[in-house]
Every structure is written in structure tokens, then in C-alpha cells.
Structure 1
Amino acid sequence: MGVKAFIRETLAGWGVPESWVVYVANIVLIAGIALLSIGANYVAKKIVLQLITRFVNSNRYRWDDYLLERKVFHKLSHLVPAVVIYYASFLFPDYQAVIVKGVALYILVVSLLVVNAFLNALNDIYATFEISKARPIRGYIQVAKIILFVIGGILLISSLIGRSPLILLSGIGALSAVVMLVFKDSILGLVAGVQLTSNDMVRVGDWIEMPKYGADGDVLDISLNTVKVQNWDKTITTIPTYALISDSFKNWRGMTISGGRRIMRAVYIDTNSIVMCSPEMIARFRNIQLLEDYILSKEQEVQRYNEEHNVNRAITVNGRALTNIGTFRAYMERYVKHHPKIHRGMTCMVRQLQPTEKGLPLEIYAFTNDIDWAVYENVQADIFDHLYAVAPEFGLRIFQNPSGADLQRGMELSAVQSRTGTPARAVGAMDSGDA
């Protein structure tokens, strides 16, 4: 005797009118199936899921924690009531086909959600490995999701209309141009992601510069369609992935790997202060520790040259002589090379650049041995603080455009000169206490 026949006989024995027996029996069956589904769902979530959670939290493995965080097991538990309804569908032979189709659609949707959560967990697990920064798979995961949901959507539609999925696929083939237009960014992003990964052009954590998009900071995420960059002002710039292939950008990873950060800054010298070194200046320079060897070797070199060529030194333009600018350049180079924060294994020099309207540039080209931004700026400032302060010791003036105070002082000197008839130079001397 079947369950349905048993319920009908029981209801008839209880005196239920025969015209109502079928309806009441169906209601009882539906209620029983609903209670059984609720009970199965309770067992799956409150007992089985709790046991799985305890096991995951108690073991020493980390990968299963991500499955738990992405709720893979939680979404999987939604299949239990559907299985109960599926196996109870034979109790309603007139509606069995509809019930089976509805359950199949529900199972398909839940399965898509489970696989989606699993792919998210897979990406999280992969991100724990160091190789994930050089070879991110987020773009591939997103491509897999697109394919997954497209196939799932085709299966859902084909089940609803009762036609073969191949018919829908042939229709999509005919609309390939529309599909390519809709998924243009995704297709370009996929191709760009493959090129970025295979050529190791950018990684998560790299510092990149892309002025066209206002990006200057660390790469936070590389996905199928976008690359997120956190700028130094903590704002987030989103760049299309394919833009990193079609446009140029600067990646500072090489600097990070090398361990040295470049200093390339110039000191501008007022050309009016450049002179030949007098004996008094040379004597003073000998007392500078960093220049002792330089002055000695240069004096010998200059003297030897002048003697070999019978140079008449009665006139300073004849032959060779030391200059204050050359001596200062030698001091700059030695000072930079002796600085404890300058990288010993990289280029370190002081070079003279093309003179400009701002004076003669003496440029330091060197690398710090610490790439930290704050340390780099402190080292650079420390070096130039010292050089600006010692330039007057070499009889040199640092170039600076006249300020308001300079103009005011010039006007005051001119006014005093016009009143007293005293030359401006003498007025300046009296103001400085030399008179």
C-alpha cells in the first residue's frame, strides 16, 4: 500500500467526506514533505554544518578556513531540502514533471552559487602564496565565472522552454557580434591580463605611475576589467586593465629590487662668484679633511704641468690653476661618497650641467641604500642642507632670484646714495659695520 493510499484510507476511517479525501490527503502530504524538508534543512545547518565548522576551526590547515569564510558549505546545505522534494515528487504523479523541473532549476541555481563561492575561496587560497603577487589569477577566476554563469543561464533557459541547449548556442553564435560588443571590455581585459602576467609587467604591490589616469601609488588589485591603484594621498584610481598594454606606464619595481633609490638634484651656483683659487684659499682648503688628498694631488698635477710647459704664472690666465667651483665639486663628490646612507655599489658622481639663467648647476647623481620614502627624503635633505651651508666657505654664492627683501634693500641703498652722494658699495660697507 502506498503512502497516499494509506492517508486516504485513514482519512476515510476518520469520517472525512469522500469528496474531501483527495484534497485533504494532498494537503497532508504537502505538509509532511514541508516538515521533512525543514527538518532536513535543520539537521544540515545546525548539526552537520556546525560539525564541519568545528572541524575546520580546530585543524591546523588554513585553506579550508577560506571555504568556510566564503560560505561554500553553507550554500551547499541548501541542496538538502531540494533533494527531499525531488524524491517525494512521485507522490504527485500528475505534477511530478513540473516538480522535478522546478527542483532541477533550483539545484542548478544553488550549484552555480556554490561553484561561485568555491572560485572565490580558490582565489583567496592562492593569494596566500608568494607567487600570487607575480602571477595573480583573479582575472582568470572572473573569466571562469563568466563562462560558468553563461552556461548556467543557457541551461536554465533551455529547461524552461523545453528546448535543447544547442539551439540556444547556435543562436548565440549568430549574435556573436553583439556578444563581442557586450563583452568587449572583458575580452580586452582577458587578453591584457594574460600579457601582463606572462610578461611579468605588473604585480600586486608594485608602485606604478600612469599620469594619464592620475595614478601614482601601489597596485592593490588586478582583475579582469580593472587595476586598482592606491595613490600616495590614499585615494584609489581605477585603470582599465587593457590600458596597461595600450598605454605606457612606469613601474618602480626595479628600484625596489635593486635596494637603491636615485638622488638627482642640482645646486645652482651664481657664476659671478666663480674665481681662481688664491694661495690663501688653497691654504684654507687644505684644512678640510675631505679635501686634503685632493688639494695635494691637484697642486702637484698643476705644478708639474706648468713646469713642463714653461707657463708664466705672473698672469693668472696662463697655464692651469685651481678654481673654487672645481674644488667645491670635488668636495661635494667626496662628501656624498662618504655619507653612510649612500649605496656603495651604484653610480655616485657630481656632474656639471649646462649653465642656465639660474646659474651653473652642479648635479648630484647617486643612490641611497634605503628605499623607504621617508628615509630617502631625509638623506637627500641632509646632504643638501650641508652643501648649501658650506658653499660660502668656497667663496661661492647659491643662486636665488631676488626676493622682496632684496629689492627693498636695493631701494634703500639707492635712496641713501642719492641723499648723501656716497657710492652704494660704501653704504653697504657702513651698514655691515666695516666703516
Structure 2
Amino acid sequence: MLESIENILHSAAGLFFDDTVVWHTLIYVALIVLIAFVCDILCKLLINKLLLPVIRRTKFEWDDHLYDKNVVARLAALAPAFILYAFLPSAFELGSSWFILAERICKVYIIALILRFLNGMLNAFLDILNEREDLRHYPIKGGVQTLQVIIFSVGFIAIVGTIIDESPARLFAGLGASAAVLMLIFKDTILGFVAGIQLSANNMLHKGDWITAPAHNANGIVQDVTLNTVKVLNFDNTTTTIPPYALVSGSFTNWRSMFESGGRRISRQILLDVNSIAFLSEEELRRFESNFLLGEFVSQRLQAMAEARDEGNLFRAEELRVTNSMLFRIYLENYIRQMGKSNPDLLYMVRYLPMAEKGLPVELYLFSTEKTWKAYEGVAADLMDHTLGMTREFGLRIYQSPGSYDFQTLKDHLS
């Protein structure tokens, strides 16, 4: 069939310049190019008019990705190239310089089209995998990019071998001698590939994770994990790119486990003025007996103190005395346990830290059920507002360094 078509084309070319070989060849080549061009148009019409409606009506998603990434169109582009290559022996004399040049050009063009098709396939494959919820958080893009590097490297060697008329196998063998140079050139790619495998195998990093890496000024959400970079969108809307091997060889904090757990930790401190700390008399203690957060404790403590006095155990009675700071600490623990935005199943406490020259530090330690930044800060702020406001109820004062208001008040008092 191919021979019949060649005869028809030679006959058509002979109608114009039958007596001139050069013009006959030019007309013959022009007819081949015209056939390839018509074939390309027919393939595009077939894809857009017949295949596309079928793709859009199917319930599958993978065929949509293949079309959107031009995989089908790139595959169809091979047909005109193969037509040109098939008719070359009949257009030029075998072994002539024109035949060798045209053949090499066609081979390079076909290899480039194959690389373009395989690249589109990998991109479509990446989109298909990214739509799966169970795979979305894995650094699949880095693996796909590794395959792309390998494919394009092989394709580049094949193109070079075609141009210089050398076997690609011999070129690959020659690469062994320059392995050190290649490793230096592709150092970041090799390190990124190994680091990507480590990040994935150890479940260290997913797309969408919140990470902090102070060494790289990164504090935000991971947007993308590629072969050479990890892209982080910081909370100030700046973007930081980090090499994957820097995360593996260095250190970073991943907050994913916090979001998957029952709460996010709140740790806040206030400073109590030690001069405001004092024992409470029984009358002052009874004032808190009606408080729903302290009533049970106060009643039990007053009863225990009375029993100790009746038994004549003065040491026990003295030991059971309550300070306003102790009562305040118990109140805060009960408040934290019952507040709606804390997780009572996780550790919570109110404790004293080592005292310094700036008063007695009191730490509030708990886990908030709100984990997003704004809601979390709101819970912490509400807790601090309530804590600071309740200090006066217990006769306590917050310690702070003297300011301009304090000096003005002292001046007015002395005058």
C-alpha cells in the first residue's frame, strides 16, 4: 500500500517537473508534507469533535485529565511525523547527504514528540493521584519529577546519539567515566530525591502541614513538595522555599500531630505580688463557700480544720490554713476543667514557678480544643482576661514594674 501511494505521489510530482530531478524531488517532498499536515488536521478534528464529547460524558475522571494535559493530542502528533519518516526513502536517494540529514531530523523530531507525550502522561498521572484523598498528602510530585528527569536524560542522550550517528548504548557507557561530574551537576536533584523518599517513608512531611523551621525563617503551611524544593506559605503571606535535604539533615517542627490530637497546648503566666499573699481567716474563707467552683473545697477544709481543733491537733489545724493564692490556684484549676474550650482529658494544671525578683510566677497549663490560630488565641485571651479580673476577688495583686502612672500617683499622694 505504501508503494502504491509513493507511485501516485511520484506521478503527481511528474505532472509539474518531470524532466528536472531537483524540482521533482521538491514537489514530492511538498506533497508528503501536505499529506502529513492534512493528517494532523484530521487527527485534531477526530479528537475535538468525536473523542472529546465521549470523554466528557464518561463517569471516569482519568480520561478528563488525559485530555486536559493534551496527552491524546500529543500522541496524535506522532502520526504526521511517522508519515514523513516513512516516505523519506522514496523522496531521496538512500545514502545521500540529503537523505541522511532528513532522516536524522525526523528521528530527532519523533524522539522529541515521544518525550513530550511521556511528560504529559506523567503530569496527568500526577493530577489523578492528587485527587485521591489517601494519597494527596504524600510527596508524589517529587517522584514524578524524578521520572521526568530520567526520561528527559535518556531522551537527550538518544537525540545526541542520533545527531552524531552514534549508538546511545555507547554514550551511556561513556557516562560512567564522567559519573563524578554528573553527580556534581545533579547534586541537588539526587539529594532531593533521597530526601523525598526519607520524608515520605518516615511520614515526616505532607502537603498541607503546618511546619516551623527557624533556620530557614519558615513558619506556615506546606504548599508543595517537589524534587528540589519544599514551598511554605508563611502566615505573613511570604513564601519560603527549602531544599528537602535541608529538612532531613537539619530540624523542623511539624504541627500535624497537634491537629490530630485532642488539643493544642496553652501555657500562660502571671506574676503575683508576694506582698498581697496572706492567710485567710475562717470568716474570709466562708465568703467563698457559695462559689460553685470553690464551695465543696471550702466546706471540706472548714470541717477538717474544726475536727483538728476539737482533737487538739494544733499542728494539723495550722497545716490546713488556706492562703488566698492557694484558693486562687484551686479556683483556676476548677475553672479550666469546666470551661468549654479546654480538654479535661489531657493534662491541665495551675502551678507556681520558681520565685524571682519580679514576684511569684503562676503558670496556667492546659490544652485547648480550638486548634486554628485565631480561635486558639481567643481561648487563651479569654482565660487570661478572666484570670486577671479574678485576682482582686481573692485580695491578690498583679506584679508589674512601676510606670509613669505609678510615679504620678505617688507624686499626687505626697503632695
The normalised TM-score by structure 2 is 0.92
1:229-378 alignment runs, 5 A limit: 229-305=232-308, 310-311=313-314, 319-378=319-378
- Select the residue among 8, 11, 27 that pairs with 1:6: 11
Distance 1:122 1:11, change over 3 A: closer
Distance 1:344 1:50, change over 3 A: farther
AA of the residue aligned to 2:226: S
Matched residues in 2 for 1:37 and 1:48: separation?
17
| Contact 1:216 1:232 (C-alpha < 8 Å) held by counterparts | yes
Q: CA deviation at 1:46?
A: 2.5
Q: What residue is the counterpart of 2:403 in the other structure? A: 403
Matched residues in 1 for 2:126 and 2:13: separation?
55
Give the superposed CA RMSD.
2.1
1:49-88 alignment runs, 5 A limit: 49-88=48-87
Distance 1:11 1:393, change over 3 A: closer
Say whether 1:47 aligns with 2:46: yes
Q: CA deviation at 1:193?
A: 0.8
Question: Taking every aligned residue pair, what percent have the same amino acid on both sides?
Answer: 37
SS in 2 for 1:175: helix
Does 340-349 or 153-162 show the bigger shift? 340-349
Distance 1:99 1:278, change over 3 A: same
Q: What residue is the counterpart of 1:169 in the other structure? A: 172
SS in 1 for 2:321: coil
Q: CA deviation at 1:286?
A: 1.4
Q: CA deviation at 1:207?
A: 0.9
| Contact 1:189 1:241 (C-alpha < 8 Å) held by counterparts | yes
Once the two structures are superposed, residues 347-402 of structure 1 have per-residue CA deviations (whole angstroms, 9 ceiling, x without a partner) of 12111111123211221111112222222221111122111111101000011221
| Contact 1:261 1:370 (C-alpha < 8 Å) held by counterparts | yes
Matched residues in 2 for 1:50 and 1:224: separation?
38
Distance 1:319 1:338, change over 3 A: closer
AA of the residue aligned to 1:331: Y
Distance 1:357 1:74, change over 3 A: farther
The normalised TM-score by structure 1 is 0.88
Once the two structures are superposed, residues 170-207 of structure 1 have per-residue CA deviations (whole angstroms, 9 ceiling, x without a partner) of 22111111111111111111111111111101111111
Q: CA deviation at 1:56?
A: 1.7
Structure 2 unaligned blocks of 5 or more: none
Q: CA deviation at 1:134?
A: 4.0
Matched residues in 2 for 1:10 and 1:62: separation?
52
Matched residues in 2 for 1:206 and 1:170: separation?
43
Q: What residue is the counterpart of 1:200 in the other structure? A: 203
AA of the residue aligned to 1:72: V
AA of the residue aligned to 2:11: F
Does 142-151 or 276-285 show the bigger shift? 276-285
| Contact 1:230 1:237 (C-alpha < 8 Å) held by counterparts | yes
Distance 1:113 1:11, change over 3 A: closer
SS in 1 for 2:313: coil
Count the aligned residue pairs: 406
Distance 1:234 1:312, change over 3 A: closer
AA of the residue aligned to 2:113: V
Q: CA deviation at 1:308?
A: 5.0
Does 403-412 or 214-223 show the bigger shift? 403-412
Q: CA deviation at 1:87?
A: 2.0
Once the two structures are superposed, residues 295-320 of structure 1 have per-residue CA deviations (whole angstroms, 9 ceiling, x without a partner) of 0112233444455563289xx9x544
Matched residues in 2 for 1:99 and 1:116: separation?
26
Structure 1 unaligned blocks of 5 or more: 417-435
Matched residues in 2 for 1:171 and 1:78: separation?
33
Matched residues in 2 for 1:91 and 1:202: separation?
59
| Contact 2:10 2:28 (C-alpha < 8 Å) held by counterparts | no
Once the two structures are superposed, residues 71-111 of structure 1 have per-residue CA deviations (whole angstroms, 9 ceiling, x without a partner) of 11222232122122112213223244433322111010011
Bigger Rg, which one: 1
Q: What residue is the counterpart of 2:222 in the other structure? A: 219
| Contact 2:223 2:231 (C-alpha < 8 Å) held by counterparts | yes
| Contact 1:342 1:368 (C-alpha < 8 Å) held by counterparts | yes
